Each structure stands twice: as structure tokens, then as C-alpha cells.
């Protein structure tokens, strides 16, 4: 379908907004269940004698599990679309079926992992199971809805050559990859070790010694999402939003030409510079951990 520039930009903006919401919620969903890499600490904790009340959602890595729920959502949606459902209804039902499937996998992974830790006496808390799983399903539903909607728009409005499940799968893998690279660091690097000094760097010897007490009572996974929603989630959203926006913005404006590619390179250079600026600012703010003579001299020359 050929659209004029205003309409294309409007659609692009919608895609960017949906991606931002999806990215944010994906990260929060992984924090609710404690998935992906920070989960290694939750898994290790009982072995170190730190029994806990945190959900252990080891479905698989985030990209794979989100790819799974989004491709399921996309498949059910395209099935319903071919049965002449309205697109919005189809997307909602598809996202819901996928979220339920995802929830089932979440329960088996929590039960399975805890049952495999018998020798450390880690109990299986059924109340954790009962009130964390619906929260996982809820978060995952929103992610599926947004990503399947992106896939639908790309397929039906923009005319991408791939089918809805294919596009949904790729965006699901991407959201998982971004979520586990960005937001999980906030959960794994800060929230799980919140009792350590801010910015102290986490010695590997601390592995498994996670925080188990909450602001009041014992910490559970819902407390973690409350914390990560302040920074980890939104940052993930920005990551996916930028990806979706910049991957089509260039070609929307400049068409399929080398100019568009040049603009892409400029975007990359700007991102490299931004990262460098962040690096300089943190290095100045927190300073080196170790000082030696040579370094001091080098430092005095540099300043």
C-alpha cells in the first residue's frame, strides 16, 4: 500500500509508541518472574543457603520465550483474521491465548526448578505461584498485544513480504534480546544486591547472596517489578522504540537509496558518541577503583 509522507510518519510514530510500551512491559514481565540471566542468582541462592520467596521462571532465555509467545499470538491472530474476525479482536484474542500458554510454561518452570533443588530444602510456595503467575500473564499479554499489532500493521498496512507470525516472531526475539541486555541489568546488577553500596561493583564472590527481605516482610517477585519499573523497564522501552523507529524512519524519508544508508551510518555515529559521553561522565563521576602512581600521573596530565 502506498501512503503519503504524513500518513507514513503517523504509522511510524504509532509503531514506535507500541514498541516502547512492549519493550518496557517485556522487561517488567521478566522481572516479575525473574527470568533470563539474573535468574542465575535466584537459582544459585538456595545452594548458598539463601532460601527465598522469589519466582524462578526459567522457561528459557528471554528472546526464546518472548519469541514463543509472540509467534503464538501472531499465529492465532492470523488464523482468526482468515476467519473474518475484526483485526483488533483477533489481535486481542491471539495475545491472550499466547499469554495463557506463556503462563503455563512459567508454572512448570517454577515447579520444575524448585523440585530439582530438594537437597537445599527450598520449599515450593504455592501462594507465590498463585499470585505471580497472573501478573506474568498480564504483562505478557500487553507485550504480545503491542508486538502482534506492530506485525499486523507492517503486514497489512505497510505490505512487508513476511506473514504476521514471522514478523511477530522476529520482534519477539528482538524484544527479548533487548530486554535481557538492558532492563535485566537493573534487576540483576542492582535490585538483587541492593544491600551493597551503590556503585561498589559486584564481586563475583557475592554470587547467590541475593537480598531476600523487602521494605516490609519478605521480598517476592512483585516487589522487584515495583523497583525495576522506575528505570530498567523504561530504558528497555527506549531501546526497542529506537530500534523500530530508526529501522524504518530512514527509508520512509529517503526511500531505498544510498542516502538512507548514509543517514543510518550517521545515526550509528551519534549513538557511538552518546555512549562515549556516558562513559566519560561515569568514569569521572565514580573514578577508578584502584589508583597507582602511573595512573595518577596520567590522570594529572589528562586534567
Partner 1 sequence: MVLLDPTTLIDIGLIGLSGALICLAVHFIPVGGAPAAMAQATGIGTGTVELAAGSGLVGLITSSYMLHADPSASMALVMASGALGASVMLASTMLAGGFIYAYGVAVPFASAQVKKDPITGQRQDNYVSKGTQGQGIPTICFVSGVVGSGLGGAGGGLIYSVLMHYYSPLISATSAAAVAGVFTMGVFYVNSVIPSYGVGGTIEGVHDPKFRRVVPKDVFTSVVVSMLCGVVAILIAGGMTP
Partner 2 sequence: MSEIKERSPDQLMVFGIIGGLLGIYLTYLLPLAGERIGGKIEIVLNTIAPVAGALGAICAVIWGADAVRRVAKYGLGTGVPSIGQIALGMGIIAAMFGLAIIKTQPLAGPVVAVITASIIGFIIGWFAQNVIKMKIPVMIRCMTEIAAAGAIIIIGYSAAVAGNYDFVNNLIPRVFDNGVILFIFWVGAVAMLHPFNACLGPDEKQKRMLYLAGSTGASTMAIVGLAAIITIGASGAITMILGIVLWIIFYKKFWDEVYNDAASVVGTGLIPKTEA
| 178 near partner 1 (CB under 8 A) | yes
Report if residue 59 touches partner 1, rule: CB under 8 A. Answer: no
* C-alpha pair distances (Å), 236 with each of 29, 97, 168, 242, 284: 12, 25, 18, 10, 25
Range 135-146 burial, b when 16+ CB lie within 10 A, else e: bbbebbbbbbbb
Nearest distance, CB of residue 272 and partner 1, angstroms: 6
Contact in structure between 73 and 94 (CB atoms under 8 Å): yes
31 versus 62: smaller Cβ distance to partner 2: 62
List, in order, residues 6 or more apart from 47 with CB less than 8 Å away. Answer: 117, 120, 208
Least distance from partner 1 to the Cβ atom of residue 295, Å? 5
> Residue 185 touches which of partner 2, partner 1, none (CB < 5 to 8 A by kind)?
partner 1
Give the range of 84-92, 125-133, 137-145, 250-258 binding partner 1 by CB under 8 A.
250-258
Q: Which residues pair with 218 in a beta bridge?
A: 213
Contact between 266 and partner 1 (CB under 8 A)? Answer: no
Q: Is 297 in the site for partner 1 (CB under 8 A)?
A: no
- Four-CA torsion 70, 142, 30, 104, nearest 10 degrees: -60
Out of partner 2, partner 1, none, which partner does residue 72 contact, by CB within 5 to 8 A per kind?
A: partner 2
- For 35, 41, 213, the CA distances from 205, given in Å and listed in that order, are 21, 12, 20
**Contacting positions for partner 2 (CB under 8 A):** 43, 47-53, 58-61, 64-65, 67-68, 71-72, 74-76, 78-79, 82-83, 97, 101, 104-105, 108-109, 111-127, 162-166, 169, 212, 218
Amino acid at each position: 500500500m502506498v501512503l503519503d509522507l504524513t500518513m507514513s510518519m503517523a504509522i511510524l510514530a504509532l509503531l514506535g509508541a507500541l514498541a516502547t510500551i512492549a519493550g518496557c512491559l517485556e522487561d517488567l514481565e521478566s522481572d516479575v518472574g525473574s527470568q533470563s540471566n539474573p535468574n542465575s542468582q535466584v537459582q544459585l541462592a538456595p545452594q548458598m543457603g539463601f532460601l527465598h520467596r522469589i519466582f524462578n521462571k526459567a522457561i528459557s532465555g528471554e528472546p526464546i520465550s518472548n519469541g514463543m509467545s509472540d509467534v503464538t499470538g501472531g499465529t492465532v491472530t492470523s488464523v482468526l483474521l482468515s476467519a473474518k474476525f475484526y483485526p483488533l479482536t483477533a489481535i486481542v484474542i491471539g495475545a491472550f491465548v499466547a499469554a495463557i500458554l506463556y503462563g503455563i510454561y512459567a508454572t512448570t518452570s517454577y515447579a520444575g526448578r524448585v523440585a530439582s533443588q530438594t537437597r537445599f530444602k527450598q520449599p515450593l510456595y504455592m501462594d507465590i505461584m498463585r499470585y505471580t503467575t497472573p501478573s506474568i500473564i498480564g504483562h505478557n499479554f500487553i507485550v504480545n498485544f503491542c508486538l502482534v499489532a506492530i506485525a499486523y500493521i507492517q503486514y497489512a498496512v505497510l505490505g512487508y513480504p513476511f506473514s504476521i507470525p514471522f514478523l511477530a516472531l522476529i520482534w519477539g526475539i528482538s524484544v527479548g534480546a533487548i530486554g535481557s541486555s538492558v532492563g535485566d541489568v537493573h534487576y540483576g546488577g542492582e535490585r538483587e544486591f541492593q544491600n551493597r553500596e551503590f556503585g561498589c561493583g559486584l564481586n563475583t564472590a557475592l554470587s547467590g547472596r541475593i537480598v531476600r527481605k523487602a521494605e516490609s516482610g519478605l521480598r517476592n517477585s512483585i516487589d522487584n517489578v515495583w523497583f525495576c519499573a522506575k528505570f530498567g523497564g523504561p530504558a528497555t522501552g527506549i531501546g526497542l522504540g529506537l530500534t523500530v523507529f530508526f529501522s524504518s524512519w530512514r527509508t520512509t524519508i529517503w526511500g531505498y537509496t544510498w542516502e538512507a544508508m548514509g543517514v543510518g551510518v550517521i545515526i550509528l555515529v551519534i549513538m557511538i558518541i552518546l555512549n562515549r559521553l556516558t562513559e566519560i561522565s561515569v568514569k569521572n563521576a565514580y573514578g577508578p577503583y584502584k589508583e597507582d602512581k602511573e595512573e595518577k600521573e596520567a590522570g594529572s596530565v589528562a586534567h
